[in-house]
């Protein structure tokens, strides 16, 4: 039967450091400095037989503390690598998504677009940021997208509308599917090309579920 994990991370760190010292398997020191006052106290205690034991205890505490710092450094580095790997992974998922994708702020300014969006509107990815998102559409359809964003501002969780692109060598019909970004950071918009206009080609707006 395995024992439960120690609920006190600071105590567990100390136990790990002491265990590594006993095994002689402490990680390589990162050069954490020992103050001159501490070294002077160690020398003074070690110079007297009456306080030699205290010097050994203090030296042990210093060694444990240094190993704790080294272990913490390793944990921080491991966490940083994991965060970098996660960021690279999700950045790749965003950039390489087969559907044009935007993140916009509450005012409707593009914060970021992916590669598919830059290809659709024949603009560099860096040129998308800062543009008004509706400026990429045909003038007659811009109010429809603005209405969609307003519905999201008022609490709608998700909405969609069909519009006509107004940028690029060949304009086309698009379905914009939008939702509020997590944490209230703005909106997320996916643009799906439509192959069949159908009907009279007029724009439509679909509203889905108001958030509570």
- Domain containing 104 — which CATH number? 3.30.450.20
Same domain, 189 and 206: yes
Structure tokens at 167: 């940028």
Same domain, 151 and 137: yes
On average, the pLDDT of the chain sits at 76
Percent of the chain with pLDDT over 90: 35
Q: Is residue 3 part of a domain?
A: no
What predicted TM-score, i.e. pTM, was given to this entire model?
0.58
DSSP label of 5: P
Of the residues 78, 94, 110, which one is the last residue of a structural domain?
Answer: 94
| pLDDT band with cut points at 50, 70 and 90 for residue 4 | low
> What is the edge-to-edge ordering of all strands in the sheet holding 101-104?
110-113, 101-104, 187-193, 173-180, 156-164, 204-210
Same domain, 118 and 204: yes
The residue range of the domain holding 20 is 9-25+35-94
Same domain, 87 and 41: yes
Same domain, 86 and 113: no
Same domain, 143 and 76: no
Same domain, 68 and 108: no
Of the residues 50, 73, 94, which one is the last residue of a structural domain?
Answer: 94
Same domain, 72 and 110: no
Q: Between 61 and 112, name the one with better pLDDT.
A: 112
| Counted domains in the chain | 2
Q: Is residue 2 part of a domain?
A: no
Q: Which residues on neighbouring strands pair with residue 189, listed in sequence order?
A: 102, 178
pLDDT, tens only, 46-93? 566 655 566 566 666 666 667 777 777 788 888 899 998 888 888 888
Closest CA to 167 of 126, 134, 115, 121: 121
Does position 14 have pLDDT exceeding 80, yes or no?
no
Same domain, 122 and 189: yes
Same domain, 119 and 73: no
Cα(42)–Cα(59) distance, rounded to whole angstroms? 7
DSSP 80-98: HHHHHHHHHHHHHHHHT-S
């Amino acid at each position: 039967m395995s024992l439960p994990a120690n609920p006190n991370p600071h105590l567990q760190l100390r136990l790990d450091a002491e265990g590594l010292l006993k095994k002689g398997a402490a990680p390589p020191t990162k050069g954490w400095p020992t103050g001159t006052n501490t070294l002077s106290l160690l020398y003074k205690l070690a110079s007297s037989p009456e306080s030699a034991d205290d010097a050994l205890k203090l030296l042990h505490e210093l060694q444990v503390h240094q190993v704790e710092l080294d272990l913490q450094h390793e944990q921080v580095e491991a966490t940083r690598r994991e965060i970098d790997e996660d960021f690279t992974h999700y950045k790749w998922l965003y950039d390489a998504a087969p559907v044009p994708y935007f993140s916009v702020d509450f005012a409707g300014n593009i914060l970021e677009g992916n590669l598919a969006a830059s290809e659709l509107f024949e603009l560099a990815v860096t040129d998308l940021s800062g543009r008004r998102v509706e400026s990429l559409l045909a003038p007659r359809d811009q109010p429809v997208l603005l209405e969609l964003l307003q519905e999201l501002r008022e609490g709608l969780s998700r909405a969609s509308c069909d519009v006509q692109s107004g940028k690029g060598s060949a304009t086309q019909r698009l379905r914009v599917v939008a939702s509020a970004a997590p944490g209230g950071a703005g909106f997320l918009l996916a643009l799906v090309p439509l192959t069949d206009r159908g009907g009279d080609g007029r724009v439509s707006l679909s509203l889905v579920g108001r958030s509570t």
